[in-house]
Amino acid sequence: MNDSEDISSPVSGLVKWFDPVKGFGFVVSDAGGPDILLHVNVLRNFGQSSVADGARVELQVQRTERGVQATQVIALMPPQAGEAVGLSDISALDPAVVAAAPLEPARVKWFDKGKGFGFANVFGRREDIFLHMEVLRRSGLSDLAPGEALALRVIDGKRGRMAAEVFAWEAALDTGQA
């Protein structure tokens, strides 16, 4: 393979880590080999600005002088739910009930990854919707920026309305969910 030849078949793997502040992360291929650089611009072309560590991805990649780099995200699946500690508000919910909740268009009010939570507002409503880091991770996201457009499945939790599932707006549109 020469220095700028595309690898013809898609590559599947797991996100090793992704830092939205740095603007990149790495994927470990299921087939082995060097880590694959995943740049935030490639992720944005898929409709997301972050991805959770441990998420499964399918990528088109290119070998360059600097190593293997993702050129396109084909598919992204959140980390396995069994790997996460559940939230008491949603851990007992039937996944079919959550999936049946309508997707609501929303914008991030603020989110603090260090604190592990934030809030969003559904369009046309004043109430805050609680966003927990664990729900983001289960949804395949690792961080959110103020003003970012989302599609949320909202439930009534013990302390008010909260997101039970979060989609990047573009990803929800592309999959026909929004």
pLDDT tens across 38-50, in order? Answer: 999 999 898 888 8
Q: Which domains does the chain have, with CATH numbers?
A: 11-77 (2.40.50.140), 81-174 (2.40.50.140)
Q: Count other C-beta atoms under 10 Å from residue 101's C-beta.
A: 15
Q: What is the CA radius of gyration of the chain?
A: 17
Q: Do residues 73 and 57 make contact, with C-beta atoms less than 8 angstroms apart?
A: yes
The pLDDT value given to residue 88: 62
Cα–Cα nearest to 148, from 168, 172, 125, 124: 168
What's the farthest any 2 CA atoms get from each other in the chain?
Answer: 57
- Does residue 143 register a pLDDT over 60? yes
Average pLDDT over residues 165-169: 87
